[in-house]
């Protein structure tokens, strides 16, 4: 005898199937080239300006703009910079005559690096050298998932690694293709061609390098240290826990290892860069177990991958005068470390 309650439950469940199918269909349509071009029209225009050699300022999330810019580039560059804002300042001129593609992003992490390299493979832009900026946990705590412009590349990369991503099925219902930065749909411009930055924007050059308000703040070492000290007193508990953690989760570590295998399989030289942290911030976090780079050095040594720099300012020979906030060193420090590591002349 049938259970009427079970039957009603199945009928109610079936009522949601059209909605689920519609979500999957919308997500699929949003990634089709004609629809995607509609979403990215503003980004395409900004990318074309960069490709033509213009320096632009923009308020659009770099996770949305940089993938579109890379798609518009013609041919590969010898050097690919994968990192967070700590490597955004690395410019073409340091690497002459080699070409550089600086794909570093604000809050860039391992998932973004994997996605960008997958995009480079798919568009025929495989580099000869990857400069890889890592943080101890590999991922940024506050990031929920990969940006829409990178989502499909990330899934394809993990599937190519033989990893069935936990986000694969959920991605079907996440509407990745509709999660663009809402600013790209606003009627007023979100980018412009200018050497001067508008408020709350960053300036991006044709090689992908960028700077923003803080890089030009001109604060004295005392002012920067006071700011660093005050900010550490007001840390969110989750943020402090993340900064004080020096080991990645097992899934991120698995992805890193497969990613490094992938790079080496494509005959790409990998150099890991550890950017030093402001002395006051380093002392604060290190006492709690943060910024321990030993696991990174062991992992890279086992693969014959060179590591340059250090999170420790004393090891990296950086002083408090070399920083403009708690985790960002001036470009001169990064250039010196690259030179000492034999990456540039």
Contacts of 289 (CB under 8 A, 6+ apart): 244, 245, 246
pTM comes to 0.85
pLDDT band at residue 170 under the 50/70/90 scheme: very low
Q: What does the pLDDT read at residue 179? A: 60
Q: What does the pLDDT read at residue 182? A: 63
Spatial CA neighbour of 343 closest among 132, 131, 133, 82: 131
Angstrom distance (rounded) from CA 334 to CA 130: 15
Give the up-direction half-sphere exposure of residue 11: CA atoms within 13 A in the CB hemisphere.
6
Question: Bigger pLDDT: 128 or 61?
Answer: 128
- Which neighbouring-strand residues pair with 329? 323
Q: What does the pLDDT read at residue 192? A: 79
Judge whether residue 83 has pLDDT over 60.
yes
Judge whether residue 149 has pLDDT over 70.
yes
Q: Is 62 exposed, middle or buried (0-12, 13-18, 19+ CB in 10 A)?
A: buried
What is the C-alpha radius of gyration for the chain, rounded to an integer number of angstroms? 22
């Amino acid at each position: 005898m049938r259970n009427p309650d079970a039957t009603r439950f199945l009928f109610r469940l079936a009522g949601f199937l059209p909605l689920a199918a519609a979500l999957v269909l919308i997500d699929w349509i949003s990634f089709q080239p004609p629809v995607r071009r509609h979403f990215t029209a503003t980004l395409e225009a900004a990318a074309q300006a960069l490709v033509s050699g213009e320096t632009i300022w923009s308020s659009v999330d770099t996770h949305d703009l940089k993938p579109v810019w890379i798609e518009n580039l013609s041919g590969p560059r010898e050097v690919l910079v994968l990192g967070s804002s700590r490597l955004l300042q690395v410019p073409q001129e340091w690497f002459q005559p080699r070409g550089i593609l600086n794909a570093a992003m604000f809050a860039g992490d391992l998932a973004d690096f994997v996605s960008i390299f997958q995009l480079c493979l798919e568009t025929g832009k495989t580099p000869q050298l990857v400069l890889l900026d890592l943080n101890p946990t590999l991922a940024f705590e506050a990031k929920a998932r990969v940006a829409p412009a990178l989502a499909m590349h990330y899934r394809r990369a993990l599937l190519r690694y033989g990893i069935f991503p936990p986000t694969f099925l959920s991605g079907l219902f996440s509407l990745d293709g509709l999660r663009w930065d809402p600013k790209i749909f606003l009627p007023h411009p979100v980018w412009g061609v200018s050497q001067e930055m508008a408020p709350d924007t960053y300036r991006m050059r044709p090689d992908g390098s960028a700077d923003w308000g803080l890089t030009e703040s001109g604060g004295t070492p005392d002012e920067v240290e006071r700011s660093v000290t005050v900010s550490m007193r007001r840390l969110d508990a989750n943020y402090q826990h993340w900064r004080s953690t020096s080991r990645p989760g097992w899934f991120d570590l698995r992805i890193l290892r497969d990613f490094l295998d992938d790079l080496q399989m494509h005959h790409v030289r990998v150099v890991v860069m550890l950017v030093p942290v402001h002395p006051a911030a380093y002392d604060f976090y290190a006492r709690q177990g943060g910024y321990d780079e030993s696991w990174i050095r062991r992992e890279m040594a086992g693969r014959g991958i060179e590591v340059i720099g250090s999170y420790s300012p004393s090891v990296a020979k950086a002083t408090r005068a070399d920083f403009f906030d708690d985790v960002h060193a001036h470009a001169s420090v990064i250039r010196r470390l690259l030179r000492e590591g034999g990456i540039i002349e």
